Amino acid sequence: MNTVVHSGAEGFLHRFEGLRARLPGQRLAWVQALREAAAAQFRAAGFPTRRVEAWKYTDLRPVSDAAFDEALTILGDGDTLPAPRGERRAVFVDGRFREELSQLDGAGFAVGSLAEQLPRLEGRLGALARPAEEPLVALNSMLFEDGLVVTVPAGVAGGVLELRSLASRSERPAAFHPRHLIRLEAGASLTLIEESTGPEDTRYLHNPVFEIELAEGAVLTHARIQREGVKGFQLGTVYARIESGATYDNFTLNAGARLVRNEIHAVLAGPKSACHMNGAQLLRDGQHADTTTVLDHAAPDCASRQTYKTVLQGKSRGVFQGKIHVHQVAQRTDGYQMNQALLLSPDAEIDSKPQLEIYADDVKCSHGATVGALDADQLFYLRARGIPEAKARSILVEAFLQEAIEGVTDETARAALDSAVAGWWEKEAA
């Protein structure tokens, strides 16, 4: 007997009804209430359309028109994991924690599976997320099965932790919605290197949500490397709350997927806190990547820096939307935002929408955007010195990306990003 798989919002709501009794936390009243509220919110909103201002440049019909099923969570015989970059690694396959593939012994801080820790997460899970305003977060809140939970105690230097997310090979499109909770207590530090990959021949949806809490003086370096398969979709949302003197340093590299939306909501909640959100989008023919940031300066004497670079090949499309909201209390704010695009094809397209919303008097805020092609004189200079055209183009593009990448000061995170960029160019040359 064939199983009918529904598409669009109806498909996910139908899946929720079928999985309701088997989803983690079904015996916890607060989890049930969270899921039911999210289901009602998603039922009312559905998938965002381009009529919604925040989604004006990104069409989700390739996602909403698809019929996704439950993931099988099977690693193929040929799938392997690269060697870990640090001592600790958490691996998720189709959104579910795989203990046998992970290395978490001797972490020195609490780290593990959300599904196993749900009874202890009341008041923490959902504390930052806004499913009533973000339909994809509502979808995640309705259907999450697992995720990573990290708590670094006060004053502890957590070192490097890798979060690997893999999509398994399957003949049927699958969707998974991991929920990750990261908390650093006062004076703690951590480097989190997140990498998402998937098979090139499988259609799937990866819809992760992060809730990140940084207490006074905490420092989190968060390097995100998105290399999903060319038929995959990633719609990710990050919420970060940054208390007094704390720093959130985020770098996102988008180099895979057919369609990706990287959305970050950060709140500078305490005086002298800082937020750095930088990134690069490397797009080939047929790819669409959307980076949307909302940065709230909600306390005085805070600083923020944003530098995003996009490189576009073929008929690809990049989007950058960045909003800086300076509250009246946030005097002596220092905010900077720059978005630059390099078009390597006449068919490529970039949409840029920087926004400043300022209600304080004593501020220093600026934003800018540039779009251009490779400099013909620089290319001629390199070619005249015997450098092949492909290599010359690579040199110029890597130089273009450097301003964004050089802001990553953690050596392990920087090496991971450099390797990912080099890998993209090796594939491009091939």
Query: Mean pLDDT throughout 215-227?
Result: 96
Task: Report how far residue 245's alpha carbon sits from residue 123's, in angstroms, rounded to the nearest whole number.
Answer: 24
What band does 171 get if pLDDT is binned at 50, 70 and 90? confident
Closest by alpha carbon to 51, among 43, 61, 65?
Answer: 61
Q: What is the pLDDT of residue 78?
A: 38
Question: What proportion of the chain, given as a percentage, has pLDDT over 90?
Answer: 76
In the three-class reduction of DSSP (H, G, I as helix; E, B as strand; rest coil), residue 214 is classed as strand
pTM of the model: 0.93
Q: What is the pLDDT of residue 121?
A: 97
| 77 has pLDDT over 50 | no
Query: Mean pLDDT throughout 165-192?
Result: 94
Token pair in block for residue 18? 């079928």
Q: Give me the residues paired with residue 367 across strands.
A: 337
| 204 has pLDDT over 90 | yes
Q: Which one of 87-96, 144-153, 392-401 scores highest in mean pLDDT?
A: 144-153
Query: At how many degrees (to 10) do helices 389-405 and 376-384 cross?
Result: 130
In the three-class reduction of DSSP (H, G, I as helix; E, B as strand; rest coil), residue 144 is classed as coil
Q: Give me the residues paired with residue 196 across strands.
A: 165, 226
More confident residue, 403 or 197: 197
Task: Report how far residue 392's alpha carbon sits from residue 397's, in angstroms, rounded to the nearest whole number.
Answer: 9
Are 199 and 76 in contact by the 8 Å Cβ rule? The answer is yes
| 319 has pLDDT over 90 | yes
- C-alpha dist (Å) from residue 233 to 7, 74, 92, 246: 15, 19, 17, 32
Give one word for 128, left, alpha or beta, with left for phi > 0 and alpha for psi -120 to 50: alpha
Q: Give me the residues paired with residue 324 across strands.
A: 295, 356
Task: Report how far residue 404's alpha carbon sits from residue 402's, in angstroms, rounded to the nearest whole number.
Answer: 5
Residues 327-364, buried b or exposed e (16+ Cβ, 10 A)? Answer: beebbbbebbbbbbbbbbeeebbbebbbeeebebeebe
Q: What is the pLDDT of residue 421?
A: 76
Structure letter (DSSP) for residue 103: B
What band does 75 get if pLDDT is binned at 50, 70 and 90? very low
Task: Report how far residue 267's alpha carbon sits from residue 217's, in angstroms, rounded to the nearest whole number.
Answer: 15
Q: Mean pLDDT of all residues in the chain? A: 91
Closest by alpha carbon to 151, among 244, 215, 224?
Answer: 215
Least confident range from 157-161, 171-175, 298-302, 308-312: namely 171-175
Q: What is the pLDDT of residues 341-352, one digit of tens each?
A: 999 999 999 999
What band does 4 get if pLDDT is binned at 50, 70 and 90? low
Least confident range from 246-260, 361-375, 412-426: namely 412-426
Task: Report how far residue 182's alpha carbon sits from residue 194's, in angstroms, rounded to the nearest whole number.
Answer: 12
Q: Would you give the end-to-end CA distance of the chain in angstroms?
A: 44
Residue with tokens 């289901």: 39
